[in-house]
Structure 1
Amino acid sequence: MSGTWVVVPAFDEAENLEVLVPRILDHLDLIPGGGHVLVVDDGSRDSTPDVMAKLCADNDRVHVDRSVRNRGKAAAMQRGFALAIDEGATAIVMMDADGQDDPAELPRLVARLDDGFDLVTGARVERNDRFVKRHTSRLYNWATGRLSGAPGRDFNSGFKAMRPDVARDVSPMLYGELHRYVTVIAHWLGYRITEEPVQHHERMFGKSKYGIARFFRGFMDLMTVRFLMSYEHRPSHLFGGIGIVSFLLGGAVLAYLTVLRFLGQTIGDRPLLIAGVLLVVVGVQLLLFGLLAELVVYNRQRDGRTKP
């Protein structure tokens, strides 16, 4: 079952799926080789299982994988990518189930892969979202671009087309809420990425599953991705560097206080003494932590080399 596979993670989206899936099928027919739709039901509590059972019965190009509990979008994407790859997909598209992504854009996104790109993001030129969501997303995209160095202006778009190799290599990092950073991770791994302007519509039915809290979670996830991008194989450069700075500052403070003590001044009641000792202790702890982290990386690399 080769061709283009559209992976749609869904949680309580019965009304939307009933309309969206047939529309996706119509536009998949315009892509050379055709394709399939895979809905990953992430523990829906509404009538999504019934809707998908009917859609699967009506068309053998519609597939569903159901989880008994809600595991989150990242886990759903990881599962969907694995199933599509196992079925021999020649291209994989990730798409949201709320109807805001336009299936008519599918042929154009997949065609850009033939231009030599490995991942194409559907960049939403005009967002049909609430005021707060639009502006927090704008700030998020700016911060992501600055911290990651990846080119683009709409990293948070859930509408992406990619080659199977990209999906396979990105999947191990899709945990927590890191699905927002598929583009950044692909860029970090060395794949060629680009953006294609797409239409963005209002949600068809239901309410968004995300609130303002996702902005703060997204920022913490960005810190995680940035750390992994820069220090996955050399954690002591980060922790050791901060530790050395802390140790030197603490040492300078204690040296200054030692001179004062020799000059006959009392230093025992000075807050600066506590600060100096604390800086030295924290510096040593960070240095040791960095070395322990290096041991973990070394053992992982050694185990990888010794496996048959």
Structure 2
Amino acid sequence: MLCSFVIPVFNEAESLNELYRQVVQNALLSKWCNEPIKYEIIFVNDGSSDDSVEIIHKLHDNDDNVHLISFRKNFGKSAALQAGFRNVSGGIVITMDSDLQDDPAEIPNMISKLEEGYDLVSGWKFNRQDPAEKKLPSKLFNAVTSYMSGIKLHDFDCCFKAYRREVIDAIDVYGELHRYLPVLAYRQGFSNITEIKVNHKKRQFGHSKYGFRRYFHGLFDAITTNFLLKYCDSPMYFFGKWGMIFGALGLLICVWMSVLHFMGQAIGSRPALFLGVLFILVGFQLFSTGIIGEMMIDSHARESYNENRVKEKF
């Protein structure tokens, strides 16, 4: 079995040689069905400005199982993971950060867990070695994501994950959705998702590349992911429901205004009349958006047949 490691890199030159050594060491200790694991390591350079690329070139010169995908500028972790996913060759895919906080010694444990039949194994940084200002927002983020998605994981944001190949073939990662890969996999029908506690080490070199804005992005992405999980294949269920609610409220208000008009009261300047007309228009627009969304999905379904959705075929 070939195991592909996808490792985004952004200005982590100091850790790369040691990371490579530990990954190879632990990959060679791993087995799949009692057979040795073969490996490939795909480093995705996300616009580094230090010596990361040069170091990866040297690693490749000494080991042709090491590969490099290099971006022209910093596009973010989601873009890096997507590029790696589209270039893997292995039946098992493991993602991890390049800062040595993810402990490669956990690799055999993750592969063993996959062998039990799981589609995705997520790392849980049970004893997280980060400052409190990172841990507390992360706990809130994970609690909200678990509640909204219905997936009972403690650490969605941990990059240290192991996947069966069919999982990463079925999902697309963009924006900041790398935090929600278990949710994206679940949406595609991969429900055998679990987590294991992993050792999390203190950062040895450099500093974190993520600022406070990641929490705002996380909030918006949580809303996006939850919407995709529930309504991507049936937008009319969302837009149609709210369209009918607003339309019905508007209709009731206008009927009430009409009754008052026939009773001889002046309604031309009453705010309720404008509110009723506004609700009807908003309801019509929402309902129309739902219909357009359904037409787009129907058209896309006719044009593209996604083999990755098929679990078994004779």
TM-score, normalisation: structure 1: 0.92
**Which range moves more in the overlay, 56-65 or 14-23?**
56-65
Of residues 40, 46, 52 in structure 2, which corresponds to 1:48?
52
Q: What amino acid maps onto 2:58 in structure 1?
A: K
Quote how far apart the aligned CAs of 1:112 are: 0.5
Residue in structure 1 matched with residue 309 of structure 2 by the alignment = none
Residue in structure 1 matched with residue 21 of structure 2 by the alignment = 22
- Map of 1:1-308 to 2, 5 A cutoff? 3-32=2-31, 33-85=37-89, 89-170=90-171, 173-191=172-190, 192-304=192-304
Q: Secondary structure at the match of 1:222?
A: helix
Q: How many residues align?
A: 299
Alignment check: 8 A CA contact 1:155 1:183 kept: yes
Alignment check: 8 A CA contact 1:17 1:51 kept: yes
Q: Gapped runs of 5+ residues in structure 1?
A: none
Quote how far apart the aligned CAs of 1:205 are: 1.4
Alignment check: 8 A CA contact 1:25 1:36 kept: no
Tell me the distance in 2 between the aligned counterparts of 1:277 and 1:182: 43
Q: Gapped runs of 5+ residues in structure 2?
A: 32-36, 306-314
Q: What amino acid maps onto 1:18 in structure 2?
A: N
Quote how far apart the aligned CAs of 1:48 are: 0.7
Quote how far apart the aligned CAs of 1:269 are: 2.7
Tell me the distance in 2 between the aligned counterparts of 1:294 and 1:188: 18
1:157-199 Cα deviation digits (max 9, x unpaired)? 10001111111112xx201111111111112222211000011
Quote how far apart the aligned CAs of 1:47 are: 0.9
Quote how far apart the aligned CAs of 1:90 are: 2.6
Q: What amino acid maps onto 1:119 in structure 2?
A: L
Quote how far apart the aligned CAs of 1:237 are: 1.5
Quote how far apart the aligned CAs of 1:133 are: 1.5
Alignment check: 8 A CA contact 1:11 1:44 kept: yes
Residue in structure 1 matched with residue 310 of structure 2 by the alignment = none
Q: What amino acid maps onto 1:209 in structure 2?
A: K
Alignment check: 8 A CA contact 1:95 1:101 kept: yes
Tell me the distance in 1 between the aligned counterparts of 2:181 and 2:107: 18
Tell me the distance in 1 between the aligned counterparts of 2:135 and 2:267: 55
Quote how far apart the aligned CAs of 1:261 are: 2.3
Q: Secondary structure at the match of 1:25?
A: helix
1:260-308 Cα deviation digits (max 9, x unpaired)? 2223333233222221111111111111111111111111122236xxx
Query: Aligned residues: percent identity?
Result: 38
Tell me the distance in 2 between the aligned counterparts of 1:256 and 1:125: 59
Alignment check: 8 A CA contact 1:122 1:197 kept: yes
Tell me the distance in 1 between the aligned counterparts of 2:127 and 2:69: 32
Q: What's the Cα RMSD here? A: 1.5
Alignment check: 8 A CA contact 2:183 2:229 kept: no
Tell me the distance in 2 between the aligned counterparts of 1:61 and 1:31: 16
Tell me the distance in 2 between the aligned counterparts of 1:274 and 1:202: 60
1:1-42 Cα deviation digits (max 9, x unpaired)? x52221101111111213212111111121122423221111
Tell me the distance in 2 between the aligned counterparts of 1:112 and 1:97: 22
Q: What amino acid maps onto 1:218 in structure 2?
A: G
Alignment check: 8 A CA contact 1:240 1:286 kept: yes
Tell me the distance in 2 between the aligned counterparts of 1:141 and 1:74: 18
1:51-74 Cα deviation digits (max 9, x unpaired)? 112222233332222122222211
Q: What amino acid maps onto 1:188 in structure 2?
A: R
Q: Secondary structure at the match of 1:93?
A: strand
1:230-255 Cα deviation digits (max 9, x unpaired)? 22221111111101100011111112
Q: What amino acid maps onto 1:251 in structure 2?
A: L
**Which range moves more in the overlay, 28-37 or 130-139?**
28-37
Alignment check: 8 A CA contact 1:247 1:281 kept: yes
Q: Secondary structure at the match of 1:37?
A: strand
Structure 1 residue runs of 4 or more that deviate by more than 3 Å after TM superposition: none
Quote how far apart the aligned CAs of 1:210 are: 1.2
